Structure 1
Amino acid sequence: MNKYIEKFINKSFNKTSNKNKKNINKYNRKISTNLQTNIAYIKKEFGNSHDIIYREINIGSKICVPAIVISINGLVNLSVLDFDILKRVMHEDIKLKEDFLEYIKKSIITMTDIKNIDNMDKVFEAILSGESVMLIDGYSIAFELDTRGWEDRGISEPINGSVVRGPREGFSETLLLNTALLRRRIKTPKLMFDLINCGEFTKTDIVIAYIKGIANDKIVKEVKERINKINIDGILDSGYIEQLIEDEPISLFPTIGNTERPDQAAGKLLEGRIVILVDGSPIALTVPYLFVENIQVTEDYYTRPFYATFTRIIRILSIIIVVFLPGFYISAQTYNQEMLPTHLFITMAASKEGVPFPAFIEILIMSILFEVLKEAGIRMPKQIGQALSIVGALVLGQAAVEAGFVSNPAVMITALTGIATFVIYSLNDSITILRFIFMILAAVGGLFGMLVGTIFLLLHLVSIRSFGAPYMSPFGPRNAKDMKDSIIRAPLWMMTSRSQIISKNKKKPSDRSIDTNR
């Protein structure tokens, strides 16, 4: 019996090994020295795709060595392909030498970026990335030529995070343009761009940007490991990466930041954070991400500290209004009438006279109606969406009050919470859901229910981590040095240290540069 089992295992192992060898041969096929064999294999893999350009040429006006240049129409700069490659190799008086490939590479082709490749898998990867590949008869080495030149949106002002004072540049969908925007702001060789390829079919380029010596090496390593572990068909936007590498995928709160602004991304890099850029997406990701960053905007650092501190307090009040105000209204109307002053309670009771629904139902109806109008305004064309939002809110709100479905205080509270939601746009998703949760808690248990919900919310927030960093830092755990840039924004000359839990290099190179006592 043991002999039969051993024979079966060996047979199965041999089958598996042969299968693996076939797969290895399929995906690691070397370039043949026979040009026609290579062309036949490439055409077989691409099929009859009409956008693939096969330009067969003869290298040299006299020696006439057969070759082919393969590229994708629409992804390459045809003028560069014509004048820097084809015209040079076809019409020059090229001599056949022992180091023929090096001679072509260094003396004939005037391209800036040329790489040698010896693998068919790399040939397909280069062509599909917008580069051109030159195969020469008699050689098992091909040239990868950087001829990328597709149309892009260019640099424009970002839609999200607009500022009154500050740069008007925003990231685009082109990865090289985004890295150039960061490089233009941070002129140091310590700014690193590490490239990772992700997605089985899309082969999306992902750049991990960080400043060596400031960013924590352990966090950089962790980011790379998480991205390398991603096994997915394709990456179409940076939102895919955000969901696949975040620490708390079930939490309502984001543990990875995002921005469209190069100046904001550069500021994060200088603080010791890591920026993740995805080809095809204008949204950059930043890690680690703390809760306090939701109340910080780039314009805070371009204005005087007093006004910046005031606006941060306004943002915190907006979060409190969105999350707790509808629930407090429901609680005060249903269970805790003694919490309201007598005159206010009488006024609210008078306005609610004739309304057939309890406070929870009328707030729920108005909140859902507001979300419907907001979603319609976002998805509709810009001009129609703005008109729809304004007219819909005015007409439907007034009609609902006159018809007696809801009271005036319910409309006012819904409008106030809706406007406050846009003040903290980075937390729009989280606080919108929390608003409905606290409305339900208030309807069930009044202020006691809201208190229990608040306790669980705070416990959840202090338990979250973003790539090893406590989410509620510098409040929990408390860090006095980091408090200079939290609710209160201290003057720039006082912020002489970086984050104590994120950055590797805590001390900034200089403090105040101007002597005011002079």
Structure 2
Amino acid sequence: MKNMKEKEVGSSFHDNLAWMDQHLPVEASFDLIKREIEIGGRNAAFYFIDGFMKDEAMLKLLDSMMKIKPEDMPERILEFSAKCIPYVEVEILHQFDQVMKNMFSGVTCLFIEEYEGCIAIDCRTYPARGVEEPETDKSLRGSRDGFVETVVFNTAMMRRRIRDPHLIMKMESVGKSSKTDVVICYMEDRVDSKVLQVVTERVEGLTLDDMKMNQQTLAEALFRRKWFNPFPKFKYTERPDTATACLLEGKIVMLVDNSPSALILPTSILDMIEEANDYYFPTLTGIYLKVSRAIITVLTVFLTPVFLLMMQNLNWLPKVFAFVAVKDMVNIPLIFQLLILELAIDGLRLAALNTPSMLSTPLSVIAGLVLGEFSVQSGWFNSEVMLYMAFVAVANYTQPNFELGYALKFMRLMLLVLTALLNWIGFLIGMILVFCAVAFNKTLSGRSYLRIRRN
């Protein structure tokens, strides 16, 4: 017997149903429905998944089909789909692998006696939440909608903003088992054709069994990055307006079904630190926000290492900044204080993710009091160290990209350890390594992370 990819839907109604019943666990799975009826005096059978089908639409279709008389039945399946099915999205399938893929995607498949082929009626609906603004990517102005887990809704939100025939949305199926829908979106007249070709070839050439982690699985499969370089290769956004702006700049946006965010490429370090608020304000305000975020981003990396370096070399400290020196007794070396607080901040962040919303505020206050006031009084930490680490913890939230935040954190930890071990030489080596990690970080397009793309 031919395999599924080569097996074609024949004209024998009973053979088609026997093949479907053999490969579908209709009896074992309660949500796989087989509904046998009679249309125009001929036997017919529907295959669909309960929960994906629009009941109202199917009731109207069944009512229309039940009224067909035997003498009105067309001879060909194409004529039947054109004249007897009052619905918009109808397709004729001739291979069983297409039938199985469509049915598991929620499409209703209809077999009719004496017709060679399967009629696919796309009257599906997916469970979906509202398109409210994402929690981690808010804007003071602008739209308040956000991507959801249904890829068709996400493409519609971008189509609503770009009413141009040059906007292309190409869908691919990735994963042997999951068959996850991946959409490649681009402006045909603005995109870099070489980058588009690389992306398309890589997506089409993927040989994954499944996409368990949706977008992250796709990102790792498209570009296998070096483990020692933590800087992200892609930009993520949950805002349709941000994705639309990137499309109009000539970038490529990739959407994955079941994922409420878009993957944007190619990108640079400047793209990573941008956010929607930069463009919803006047030019001067937007420039100020960008510059402020860039300065704070640099400070999150170098503030505590520079402080440690100055404390190890007090004679380098100018008299003007003599007040920053640690005045209390140092019971624990500064490097260990800084590393312990780095770990403690991540612990608090993980605790906040798993804390019920009604308890998050009181627990945050308790944690702030215990770790702030009492830890200093007990002699574990110095007040200056607590101050600088508090700044770093808060400053991390000014940067919208979560992956970039942790990449900067790893660079800061490397600088701290090297400075503690080798003093100024270690700090200099760390500076060089940070620059190299950014400068030699290649994106999917092969460009440097520091390269500003020409529109």
Provide the TM-score with structure 2 as the length reference: 0.94
Aligned CA-pair RMSD: 1.8
Deviation at 1:80, TM superposition (A): 1.1
Residues 1:107 and 2:87 are matched in the alignment = no
Q: Partner amino acid for 1:470?
A: S
Q: Which moved more, 1:186-195 or 1:291-300?
A: 291-300
State the number of aligned residues: 448
Match of 2:250 in 1: 272
Check whether the contact 1:379–1:385 (CA below 8 A) recurs between aligned residues: no
Residues 1:438 and 2:415 are matched in the alignment = yes
Pick from 210, 213, 216: which aligns with 1:239?
A: 216
Residues 1:393 and 2:373 are matched in the alignment = no
Match of 2:352 in 1: 377
Match of 2:169 in 1: 193
Pick from 424, 429, 434: which aligns with 1:457?
A: 434
**Structure 1: gaps of 5 or more residues:** 1-21, 475-498, 504-518
In 1: Cα distance, 2:316 partner to 2:362 partner: 39
**1:381 and 1:229, CA in 2 relative to 1: closer, same or farther beyond 3 A?**
farther
Match of 1:147 in 2: 123
Deviation at 1:46, TM superposition (A): 2.0
Residues 1:156 and 2:156 are matched in the alignment = no
Percent identity at matched positions? 26
Deviation at 1:41, TM superposition (A): 2.2
**Structure 2: gaps of 5 or more residues:** none
Deviation at 1:468, TM superposition (A): 2.8
In 1: Cα distance, 2:370 partner to 2:3 partner: 68
**1:136 and 1:216, CA in 2 relative to 1: closer, same or farther beyond 3 A?**
same
Residues 1:125 and 2:105 are matched in the alignment = no
Match of 1:311 in 2: 289
Match of 2:30 in 1: 50
Deviation at 1:25, TM superposition (A): 2.7
Structure 1 residues 69-112: Cα deviation after superposition (integer angstroms, max 9, x where no partner): 110001111221121x2111112335355633233211111110
Check whether the contact 1:53–1:73 (CA below 8 A) recurs between aligned residues: yes
- Match of 1:134, SS state, is strand
Pick from 150, 162, 176: which aligns with 2:152?
A: 176
Check whether the contact 2:126–2:150 (CA below 8 A) recurs between aligned residues: no
Q: Partner amino acid for 1:53?
A: I
Larger-gyration structure (1/2): 1
Pick from 416, 420, 436: which aligns with 2:395?
A: 420
Deviation at 1:263, TM superposition (A): 0.5
Residues 1:263 and 2:241 are matched in the alignment = yes
Check whether the contact 2:46–2:110 (CA below 8 A) recurs between aligned residues: yes
In 1: Cα distance, 2:97 partner to 2:368 partner: 56
- Match of 2:145, SS state, is coil
- Match of 2:71, SS state, is coil
Check whether the contact 1:243–1:249 (CA below 8 A) recurs between aligned residues: no
Q: Partner amino acid for 1:245?
A: L
In 1: Cα distance, 2:346 partner to 2:375 partner: 16
In 1: Cα distance, 2:342 partner to 2:365 partner: 16
**1:373 and 1:444, CA in 2 relative to 1: closer, same or farther beyond 3 A?**
same
Check whether the contact 1:195–1:205 (CA below 8 A) recurs between aligned residues: yes
Pick from 35, 39, 59: which aligns with 1:59?
A: 39
In 2: Cα distance, 1:346 partner to 1:290 partner: 38
Match of 1:325 in 2: 303
Match of 2:185 in 1: 209
- Match of 1:349, SS state, is coil
In 2: Cα distance, 1:422 partner to 1:122 partner: 46
Match of 1:88 in 2: 64
Structure 1 residues 401-426: Cα deviation after superposition (integer angstroms, max 9, x where no partner): 11111100011111000111111131
Check whether the contact 2:172–2:182 (CA below 8 A) recurs between aligned residues: yes
Match of 1:282 in 2: 260
Residues 1:71 and 2:48 are matched in the alignment = yes
Pick from 381, 395, 403: which aligns with 1:406?
A: 381
Correspondence list, 1:220-231, <5 A:
220-231=196-207
Match of 1:6 in 2: none
In 1: Cα distance, 2:7 partner to 2:303 partner: 65
Deviation at 1:338, TM superposition (A): 1.9
Match of 1:36 in 2: 14
Check whether the contact 1:378–1:385 (CA below 8 A) recurs between aligned residues: no
Check whether the contact 1:54–1:68 (CA below 8 A) recurs between aligned residues: yes
Q: Partner amino acid for 2:35?
A: R
Deviation at 1:317, TM superposition (A): 1.7
In 2: Cα distance, 1:349 partner to 1:133 partner: 74
Match of 1:357 in 2: 332
Provide the TM-score with structure 1 as the length reference: 0.83
Check whether the contact 2:326–2:384 (CA below 8 A) recurs between aligned residues: no
In 1: Cα distance, 2:45 partner to 2:39 partner: 9
- Match of 1:429, SS state, is helix
**1:97 and 1:39, CA in 2 relative to 1: closer, same or farther beyond 3 A?**
closer
In 1: Cα distance, 2:437 partner to 2:324 partner: 38
Q: Which moved more, 1:384-393 or 1:433-442?
A: 384-393
Check whether the contact 1:211–1:272 (CA below 8 A) recurs between aligned residues: yes
Deviation at 1:26, TM superposition (A): 4.0
Match of 1:3 in 2: none
Check whether the contact 2:170–2:183 (CA below 8 A) recurs between aligned residues: yes
**1:142 and 1:346, CA in 2 relative to 1: closer, same or farther beyond 3 A?**
closer
**1:361 and 1:33, CA in 2 relative to 1: closer, same or farther beyond 3 A?**
same
